[in-house]
Amino acid sequence: MGKLKERIILKGIGASPGKVRGKVKIINFPEEIDEINKTGIIVASFLTPDFLTIIKRSPWVSGIITNKGGLTCHAAIVARELKIPYIAGTAVATKKLKENMIIIIDGEKGIAYA
C-alpha cells in the first residue's frame, strides 16, 4: 500500500485483519454482490446471512465495511473464516463512501484510507 499519501477517511472496528485496495460497491440487497466483476469492497448498512452466502461464493469480494456490527457479529466471523478484511461499526460508511471510490482498508486497525 502507499506511503503517507493516503488520508484516513473512515474509522470503525477492526473485525477481520488484512489490508486490501479496491473499488467501493455500495449494496442494499444481496443480489447486488453479483454485479461486482473486479476486486471490490462491499459497503453496506449491515449484512444478513443472505449476503454472507453470496459473499462466500463470490471470487470478487476483497473487503467489507458496514455501518453496524462488531467483532463477534456473524459477518465478522465469516469474514475471518474467508480471510476477507472487514471494518464493522462505522455508523456512516454508506453515507461517507461513494460508489466506485478506490480505497484501502485495514481490517486489523479498522481504518479506511483514500
Cα separation values, 14 from 72, 95, 112, Å: 11, 19, 10
Catalytic residues: 74
Q: How far apart are the C-alpha atoms of 17 and 103, rounded to whole Å?
A: 16
Q: Closest Cα partner for 15 from 92, 99, 82? A: 82
